[in-house]
Amino acid sequence: MRRNSSSAGARVASLVVLCLCITQLTNHAVAKHRKSSDEGKRREQEGPQPRDEPSGDQGAEEPEECVPLDVEALKDYPYCQLYERVCAHQDTLVTHDFRYSFANPKRELVPELPYVDIWNFPAALEANTDALRGRQPKYHLQFRAASAHEPTPALRHPSFSNCTLPVVLAPEFPFNMGEFFARAVSAVHDLELDPRVTLVMLTPQSLGLAPFHSLLLQPYSKYPLITSAALGARGCPLDMGPDPGGGGGGSGSDPARQRQRRVDHEEEDDSKWSGEGDGGEEEEEAVPAERPVAWSPDASQPHCFKRLLYCKWGIEARVAAPLAEVAARVVGAMQAAAQLPVPRLAYTGQEGEEGEEEGQEQGQQAAVSDAAPNDPDHDPRDPAQLRVLIESRHGPVRNIKNLQDLLDACKEANERGFSAGGFRGVSCAATSFADAATGRVSRARFLSNVAAVRTAHVLVVVHGAGATNSWWLRQGSSALVELRPCLFGTKYASWPDKYLPPQHQKSRDRIRFFALNVEDPDQCENGDIEAGLFNKTLAKGSLTWDQSFFARDKHLRLRPGPFLGFLRHVAALLAPGDTEAYVAAREADRLHGYLLPGGGLVLGKLGVKNATVWAEEEEVEVQTFNDWGGPRY
Ligand SMILES: *[C@@H]1O[C@H](CO)[C@@H](O)[C@H](O)[C@H]1NC(C)=O
Ligand SMILES: *[C@@H]1O[C@H](CO)[C@@H](O)[C@H](O)[C@H]1NC(C)=O
Ligand SMILES: *[C@@H]1O[C@H](CO)[C@@H](O)[C@H](O)[C@H]1NC(C)=O
């Protein structure tokens, strides 16, 4: 089946448009990132490698061994469908399976591939766009039978790779990190795929991957994650110059010649396929040899596959893996690849700037000396000093408006002898998990976020995707405090309560979850979207008018005393490796906090509808605090 790639191949190859190679260069760049983790494996399998990256001249090399995937087991897997003899071209899969062929008198209709039904547009904003009418039309790949008019030589003369097995992932909410981790990554974890499959992310509307996609799926394939667009990209011919991207500056006459040849080629094509019925004895057409790609062991970019899996996890999909187990795998892979940077976070009571940008951190003198973020056995934390890391957000919604007050109070509390559980001191730091201007989380930023949360005992976040970072906390000795703005933890509690609390409980409280529901109107402020609606600076038509979105998206201005009082409660239930007291508090309905009007705090269960009324009816003690979280009598 392999096509020869000599003279005629070279001719056809030169017809391919220049820009198509850019996708491949991107892939190589990803591969470069991934290299460290896979280097060992790759060396073992490929023997000595003269070069780091797959390059143009290895056409003669044998491909690596083929994927011995246990397809029988996978066929029963409810969320994946196996398709055979499939080619990929742009956003279309083309099946050569005889069961769908028009030549088959008993042919079946080509099935419709499952859609990504629900997703929000990933805007360059530090906010979920659901409240901004960001919901997008459902999306899927087209699926059709092979035709008389296939667009490329590779599709006209398919050679089905049995060494590259694409697993196309079509999860809901693909650009929400929390949803992606909880649904797609855990589902892939559950599949227990052979790491020699190629993972392909279905990104609607030709969108690119977010760095978190690649990093979270890193443990599950030895190849870089690619988009469905990359899977369907035309290849890059082998004999193109060394600088396929530099179209403008290169040899001036070439592009024109190529255009000319391309036209000739298309005309030739038309005459070949039109009119004459079955083109049995048409002129032999060569399939160009193409550059290998980082996502496949094939010697030339494959376009057609003996087998392809298409997996879609709907909202109702039940995925079994406890997320702490998945998280351990993800963090372990980062550590094994020595990807985690030394955190530059300082628990000095100043907001630090963790991330790839150099030079704007404050209070760096006392920077944590954590020399070994990639050593799984090294814990940089002083077991007696409670370290609290607070997420600092800068987008239009869900900011903590008085972060510095909280950090100052923390310092004050420490100086005045903070003591709770096994802790005899407290130090706080704040960091943003995203770039403040764009809301983007770059690859470097993502890795530094992982490293940063691993320096903390307690991570404090306002409800949102930032809470996903709680999964990177050190298991067995850490806690997450999720802040819910006014009404979001009571009236609309069924929303936040269905995510993290059961996920952490199912993970056997490896990371202890605490909700702090802010029910004091003085400690909540309208988010910018809601405020913009009321002051008429935001067009009504650009909004989804939904009270639960407005509740979720409020800003907070927390009173430091009750906040620190709640941290003492958390610290008291944070005995390393021992969740007994924590579980007992949950069973006694006094695990979570409600901040009441007037500055009081009550402890309770999740889902209390009106904390004031509930505290009265149940005669729950309302705790009050001085400014640094000490009890006020
Ligand atoms: C894969 O394909 C090659 C060439 O078509 C063939 O020689 C080989 O036996 C196949 N291997 C498997 C495992 O099907
Ligand atoms: C309206 O609200 C937005 C969001 O809070 C704010 O940025 C803007 O300054 C307000 N404009 C006026 C005219 O009050
Ligand atoms: C809770 O109930 C009290 C008494 O009915 C009421 O005054 C208060 O507004 C309610 N709180 C909330 C947040 O709805």
The protein residue whose alpha carbon is closest to atom 12 in ligand 1 is: 162
Distance, CA 519 to ligand 3 centroid (Å)?
A: 10
Q: Is the CB of 531 under 6 A from ligand 2?
A: yes
Distance, CA 163 to ligand 1 centroid (Å)?
A: 8
Query: Structure tokens of 507?
Result: 């993970």
Question: Taking the alpha carbons of 401, 403, 406, 412 in that order, is the dihedral positive or negative?
Answer: negative
pLDDT tens digits, one per residue of 501-517: 999 999 999 999 999 99
The protein residue whose alpha carbon is closest to atom 11 in ligand 1 is: 162
The protein residue whose alpha carbon is closest to atom 12 in ligand 3 is: 610
Q: Interior CA angle at 606 toward 555 and 524, to 5°? A: 15
Distance CA 98, CA 106 (A): 10
pTM (2 d.p.) = 0.82
Distance, CA 74 to ligand 1 centroid (Å)?
A: 21
* Amino acid symbol at 273: W
pLDDT tens digits, one per residue of 18-53: 334 544 444 433 333 333 333 333 333 333 333 333
pLDDT tens digits, one per residue of 108-130: 999 999 999 988 888 877 777 77
Q: What residues flank ligand 1, with Cβ below 6 Å? A: 1, 66, 162
pLDDT over 80 at 256, yes or no: no
Q: Is the CB of 172 under 6 A from ligand 3?
A: no
- Residues 63-87 as b or e (16 or more Cβ within 10 Å = b): bbeebebeeeebeeeebbbbbebbb
> Can you list the alpha helix ranges (DSSP code H) found in 172-253?
177-179, 186-191, 211-217, 228-231
What pLDDT shows up at residue 412? 95
Ligand nearest to the CA of 537: 2
Indicate the range of 176-180, 260-264, 339-343, 420-424 predicted with least confidence: 260-264
Are 175 and 119 in contact, with CB atoms under 8 Å apart? yes
The protein residue whose alpha carbon is closest to atom 3 in ligand 1 is: 162
Give, for ligand 2, the residue of 537, 542, 543, 553 to mutate: max count of ligand atoms closer than 8 Å to Cβ: 537
Residue located via tokens 């004459």: 276
The protein residue whose alpha carbon is closest to atom 14 in ligand 3 is: 610
> Rounded to the nearest 5°, which phi and psi values hold at 615?
-60, -40
Distance CA 192, CA 208 (A): 26
Indicate the range of 234-243, 393-402, 482-491, 511-520 predicted with least confidence: 234-243
Give, for ligand 2, the residue of 399, 525, 535, 540 to mutate: max count of ligand atoms closer than 8 Å to Cβ: 535
Mean pLDDT of 157-181: 93
Distance CA 413, CA 15 (A): 71
Residue located via tokens 């929303």: 495
The protein residue whose alpha carbon is closest to atom 8 in ligand 2 is: 532
Q: Is the CB of 385 under 6 A from ligand 3?
A: no
